[in-house]
Chain A
Amino acid sequence: EVQLVESGGGLVQPGRSLKLSCVASGFTFSNYGMNWIRQAPGKGLEWVAYISSGSSYIYYAETVKGRFTISRDNAKNTLYLQMTSLRSEDTALYYCARGITDFDYWGQGVMVTVSS
């Protein structure tokens, strides 16, 4: 059974940093591109970042480019999102999701709240 389990969220002050993790199981993690997608409370979905299976290709939404870094450790079956210079508008539920063009498996999400 495919499972994606996010962790690392919490309450953080504006301007500070936070690192999210997503541990994958039930499939060969190193064969798949992975994404972070977020959803602000009561709002729609926003794609945040993508990393290819071997980390050769990385793409970001303009809203996070230069502040967020996506990475992965295939030996640990883990996807990461390093978030710096956090803003109130980054407050959202962050999902990791498998796929290149569409997302066939999603984690349960981890909440990030940016507030003083």
Chain B
Amino acid sequence: DIQMTQSPASLSASLGETVSIECLASEGISNDLAWYQQKSGKSPQLLIYAASRLQDGVPSRFSGSGSGTRYSLKISGMQPEDEADYFCQQSYKYPWTFGGGTKLELK
């Protein structure tokens, strides 16, 4: 199985700060990567697919980048509503696998 290692496990950001979350795949995944946001007690929501494509309705402060085995999610200007858990997910090879998650809190 492809292992997805996400970092950091948690971070705290101030209002307006730019935040970056990393995901490292155990092998190349050819941009077959998605990012999800999960707020407390809610279902996950798709933010980014195909590594860098913004899902409809997602604010433009969210962006994705990367290639090969290294991918990142950037939030340009932390907002209170961005406080959540974030997960990456590869769809290059079955079984689809998720990163362990990053808990983002507002400082």
A residues apposed to B, CB below 8 Å: 44-47, 50, 59-62, 95, 100-104, 106-109
- Min C-beta distance of B32 to chain A, whole Å: 6
Known: A44-B87, A108-B43. 16 other contacts (CB 8 A): A44-B98, A44-B99, A44-B101, A45-B98, A59-B95, A62-B95, A95-B44, A100-B91, A101-B96, A102-B34, A102-B46, A102-B89, A103-B44, A104-B46, A104-B49, A106-B44
> SS class of chain A's interface: helix, strand, loop or mixed?
loop
> SS class of chain B's interface: helix, strand, loop or mixed?
loop
Among A61, A101, A104, the residue within 8 A (CB) of B55 is A104
Q: B66 at the A/B interface (Cβ < 8 Å)?
A: no
Q: Size range of the interface on B?
A: 20 to 34
B residues apposed to A, CB below 8 Å: 1, 32, 34, 36, 43-46, 49, 55, 87, 89, 91, 94-101
